[in-house]
Amino acid sequence: MKKRVYLDHAATTPLDRAVFSAMRPYFSEEFANPSSIHGRGLAAKKAVAEARKKIASAVGCNADEIIFTSSGTESNNLALVGIAEAHAYQGHIITSAVEHASILETVAHLKRRGVSTTIVGVDAYGRVNVDDVKAAIRPDTFLVSIMYANNEIGTVQPIAKIGGFVQKRGIAIHTDAVQAPGLLPLSASKLHVDMLSLSAHKFYGPKGAGILYVKRGTAMVPQVRGGGQEHGMRSGTENVPGIIGAAEALGRAERNRPKESRRLAKLRDWLMAEIQSRIPHAQRTGHPAERLANSASFRFPGISGEHLVMRLSERGFECSSGSACSTGGVEPSHVLLACGISKNDAQGSLRITLGASTRLLHLKRFAPALAEEVKKLQK
Ligand code: PLP
């Protein structure tokens, strides 16, 4: 049997071997608690401090502005709930209709707690219009949260423009940048953001290691209380191997970004053109230009995306019909619906996300298999 071809890097990525090597000692010999004051405790503390510095350098911030969490989901929750609690759950926040569930569900929770919310729409490509954000701002707006790049259709948002405007108004801005590392620049100052969420398993690091950048002076109440770790912002004994792995992986992602994002964009463009020539009625989803270098997404009228994914899996190709975090149900993707696609048409969606192991030869095998399976399902 041929080796399986993994084309679902937006869902998660394999742990890089070099990252695993950097983590390994912290599972065994260097297992001590960074809060212990004996030698090995101090060594663990130092390793965490160095990892924090590395991550701060990738984000272009100070080390004390980095908070380690358990996931992108937790980072998003802390960013939104932490700032809302600091505002006594009063006032107004703005987000977009295409955010990940960890933002949209948290915004719904805040609404139930009394916060006013505005969810701005997107255009047919899934892009937020800067003017819509400007128009939604109210005197009591204390937070704008717009994702950097979409996990389902790859559309990149004009964050620097939105951030520039929002910061000038003295309002905090958060971006869910979970899909960005290795593909888009991360500098918080150039993006004009006050908070930024990351998750190591999306960039060849370990699962269970999230990051939240919070600019100094941003009002925030911790949501996990206890021993006061993470400058009091997120208590709990540090996930030392996870933190070491996250730092190693982010450093690598940043170093490889210029070359690797160019390589992936070429493969993506080849694949998108090939799919359209083999399946003429295939509809591209997401933005034609402002999209992640590794992301190709389509919908095929008249078929079920879930069935297509299962058929492709039987043939050795692993991709996704939307976001892995929301599959399991047959609800159409909220992202496609927000792009103005009907419930029926949104059913036949496919997301193909490339990564470090992807080569042209894989895509040359994938494209005809996809065309065959689409044809069979359409019958
Ligand atoms: N935000 C985006 C855009 C994502 O794609 C994901 C994961 O799919 C998350 C947040 C959640 O990250 P985690 O899986 O680390 O909880």
- Pocket residues for ligand 1 (CB within 6 Å)? 71-73, 76, 100, 102, 147, 151, 176, 178-179, 199, 210, 325
- Show the tokens assigned to 141: 């707006």
Cα-to-centroid distance, 270 and ligand 1 (Å): 27
Low pLDDT (below 70) residues in the chain: 1-2, 322-330
From 227, 252, 277, give the residue that closes a domain. Answer: 252
In this structure, how many other beta carbons lie within 10 angstroms of the beta carbon of residue 246?
31
176 and 161 co-located in one domain: yes
- Looking at residue 238, the DSSP 8-state letter turns out to be -
Distance 47 CA to ligand 1 centre (A): 26
Closest-lying ligand 1 atom to the alpha carbon of residue 151: 5
Q: What is the pLDDT of residue 311?
A: 97
Q: Nearest Cα to 307, choosing from 354, 371, 362, 373?
A: 373
Judge if 94 and 151 occupy the same domain: yes
For residue 326, the model assigns a pLDDT of 52
DSSP class of residue 303 equals S
**Active-site amino acid positions:** 325
State how many domains the chain has: 2
272 CA to middle of ligand 1, Å?
Answer: 24
Q: How far is CA 60 from CA 55, 87, 147, in A?
A: 8, 27, 19
- Asked if residue 192 and residue 67 are part of one domain, the reply reads yes
Structural domain of 311: 5-12+257-378
CATH number at residue 138: 3.40.640.10
Q: Residue 107 has what pLDDT?
A: 98
Quickly list H helices, the chain: 17-23, 39-59, 72-86, 101-112, 130-136, 159-168, 188-191, 240-278, 305-314, 334-338, 360-378
Mutate to test the pocket of ligand 1, among 100, 203, 292, 294 (most ligand atoms within 8 A of CB): 100
d(CA 350, CA 352): 7
Strands 210-214 and 195-199: antiparallel
